[in-house]
Structure 1
Amino acid sequence: METTQSESDLNPKASAFSSWYFATLIGLTALTALFFVLSGYGYNWGVWGLSTAFFILRISAYMLIVFGIAGLLSLWFANRSRNRGRHLTYTFLTIALSGTAVGVALYWQAQVNNNPFLHEISTDTQNPPAFDAILDLRADAPNPPEYGGEPVAMLQQAAFPDIITIVLPYPKQRVYDEAVSLIGARGWDLAAGNYETGIIEATEKLPWFGFKDDVVIRLVSDNGRTIFDMRSKSRIGGTDLGVNARRVQRFMADLKTNLSD
């Protein structure tokens, strides 16, 4: 006579598989999320090159989408499983980790879509401030230190018409001191500062991938006022995802606020 397994025999096996499945799902999700984060830091720390970093970032993002969908589809099973509390916790953690990482990836993709193909910004596009002290630091940079000319100016003016030369109703010394102070407060590396020439140069190292962008500020006295120009340029990359524009906009806004206090 053929024997069959009873429900009591099957349930322990089903429960064991369920526990293995949810533990594996959260484990793989956490590991993939770790690689998603390490993709940038690995390049920043010199562990691998930029192409490898982007490959890891892209593959881990796709995998996290799959795990996130699996987590959503598993909610019903987790809610009906024997270890309901633990399995729901694993499932929600899977969805949260996947959603956060994918959200970051989608945010940066939106920046690519919503910003012009630029890697430099200047308030003065006809006579942009020139780099000097930073030239040696940019010696191996893929992007040259020279300004990109009329094509760059046209793209910038169409996308960021508010980024123009400003005239501050304060003497040059006060503006110079406040600009240097603001650079320090932002954690930028000050490469050079010369009050006489009115030129200030600095570098900001971005978090995660560690990309370096260079800044040059030019101050010109004008009858007790100061003509302020600022230029920001990435060392690497065809597009900066709007980073240089936001840097210039925020710096000038903070400078005006600090000077008016």
Structure 2
Amino acid sequence: MKKLSSIVCLLAILLVVLPGPLYKWQLIELSTAFTGIRYGVFAAIAGLILLVVQAGFFRKSTYWPLFAISAVLAIVAVAMPLSIMSKAKSVPPIHDISTDVVTPPEFVAIAKLRADAPNPVEYAGPETAAQQLKAYPDLTTLRFKENTKHVIRVSIDSVKSLGWELVSADIENGIIEATDTTMWFGFKDDVVIRVIAKGDGSELDIRSKSRVGKSDLGKNAERINQFIAQLNTELSQL
């Protein structure tokens, strides 16, 4: 019994954790990855049931350190997907976020990189804008006293500091484009930053869009907030 429960719990955590890297390395399709995670949850539940039976009827032969490790693996295998599901329910099912939802910055250099992406390069539209404004009302155009060239330069530094891949920096037109790759599944989300002159200062808008998926689980809004925090930090140090 103890061997069976440990094997099932180990299988469960592998089915939950490995699909992300396997998809990232292009060894399996996304649908297969999600199927693996679903079966991992089922295996984890089965493993927990076996552990309960083991603790109730085979206490004398139970090796408790292994029992504890198996329980932790099974609990994690259940908790990770449930956490993702909870996050999905707490944010709108959108994947295109912009500080300017009326005239959002447009992708130029990145457009060709998204040619085969399920989510088109065009802005998602008024329905997405309405959901974003309700969920993330704090994401609005940024205004700075510094001139455009200064803000553009610091924005490029911020992009690099965040570890994003800088795709293009059109300083003359005030357009910066970059790609951020998520750690677990390796999803590629694209960012475009637009800086324009406003009086003696400048205005900055940033847009982040996922290449795949209907819902971004709040990742694009989180990414924009990270950039804003990094930009403000670097501007304050100059």
Q: TM-score, normalised by structure 1?
A: 0.86
Q: Do structure 1's residue 153 and structure 2's residue 129 form an aligned pair?
A: yes
1:1-261 to 2 correspondences below 5 Å: 21-77=1-57, 80-82=59-61, 87-261=63-237
For the 8 Å contact 1:75–1:88, the answer to whether it is kept is no
- Give aligned-pair identity as a percent: 38
For the 8 Å contact 2:15–2:39, the answer to whether it is kept is no
Distance in structure 2 (CA, Å) of the matches to 1:246 and 1:230: 12
Residue type of the alignment partner of 2:105: P
Closer, same or farther: CA 91–219 of 1 in aligned 2, 3 Å: same
Secondary structure in 1 aligned to 2:111? coil
Distance in structure 2 (CA, Å) of the matches to 1:121 and 1:22: 49
Root mean square deviation of aligned Cα: 1.5
Residue type of the alignment partner of 2:151: V
For the 8 Å contact 1:200–1:218, the answer to whether it is kept is yes
For the 8 Å contact 2:8–2:46, the answer to whether it is kept is no
- Structure 1 moving runs of 4+ over 6 Å: none
Q: Which has the larger radius of gyration?
A: 1
Distance in structure 2 (CA, Å) of the matches to 1:73 and 1:224: 72
The number of equivalent residue pairs is: 237
Secondary structure in 2 aligned to 1:136? helix
Partner of 1:14: none
Distance in structure 2 (CA, Å) of the matches to 1:72 and 1:215: 48
Distance in structure 2 (CA, Å) of the matches to 1:47 and 1:240: 22
Distance in structure 1 (CA, Å) of the matches to 2:189 and 2:176: 14
Secondary structure in 1 aligned to 2:172? coil
Secondary structure in 1 aligned to 2:114? coil
